[in-house]
Amino acid sequence: MFRHNVRAMPLRHLGSLTLGALAVAFPVLAPHSDADDSPAPDTRWAPVAQVGTEERHDPAPRVNPVRAERHDRVALASLDKATRLAETIASYAALRDAATAQGAPDAAVTRGGQVFALPTTGRLTSAAGPRWGTTHYGLDIANKVGTPVFAVGSGTVIDSGPASGFGLWVRIRHADGSVSLYGHIDRSLVRVGQSVRAGDRIALMGNRGQSTGPHLHLEIWSADGRKLDPATWLSRRGLDVG
């Protein structure tokens, strides 16, 4: 009870500390005394029943203890909630910083604490959709050969090497079973079986395979093998390819 009052006091009495309030907040420090020099009781907020009774020499409580305790509980719960929120924001900021530490242009943390990163820097040259009479399932981002390519999410490398059409590729399987694919790369920086985190440098952009200029070809496959729209997939995780 004493500890509770000490914690709660600044919330209620910061601007209007009086001897009466001190006596309520620090009962251990305010010995009961009937001596003439005891501070005059502050009865402004006292319950009517206590005024004029034989207890009148005691300092009257300045606040209704039941209401005050409820008020303090609510205030402390809000404070705890705000503290937890601040801690969460700080930890998410740290995750985001870690995911951009190797150069990824942007990273985002979902409400569940999962981290995602944009795969490279460059110019968006083609989004998923119909192209040249067929369906293009990837997202093309063009830049110079050697531009770093980053893992869009954490997972395990399942392919790193030559691939028909893609020249060289890296594929990463994520915890939910989905797969991200990075095609036409010039060089892989990871090996099969390696664990990677979102934003890790996994490859260098290239112009290998069926490619008409240096670019990254990114695909996202669902756990059951459907090819998803990478821009939509990234956007749902808080990342815009622009």
Contact residues toward Zn ion (CB under 5 A) are 138, 140, 217
**Min CB(132)–Zn ion separation in Å:** 11
Residue of this chain nearest to Zn ion (CB atom): 217
The nearer residue to Zn ion, 94 or 124, going by C-beta atoms, is 124
**Min CB(219)–Zn ion separation in Å:** 8
d(CA 19, CA 31): 13
The nearer residue to Zn ion, 117 or 216, going by C-beta atoms, is 216
The nearer residue to Zn ion, 138 or 214, going by C-beta atoms, is 138
Token output for 238: 């808080």
Residue 230's closest CA among 179, 163, 165, 185?
179
d(CA 239, CA 110): 10
**Min CB(181)–Zn ion separation in Å:** 10
**Min CB(207)–Zn ion separation in Å:** 12
The nearer residue to Zn ion, 63 or 163, going by C-beta atoms, is 163
For residues 8, 62, 66 and 70, what is the CA-based torsion angle, rounded to 10 degrees? -30
Burial class of residue 175 in the structure, from the number of CB atoms within 10 Å of its CB (0-12 exposed, 13-18 middle, 19+ buried): exposed
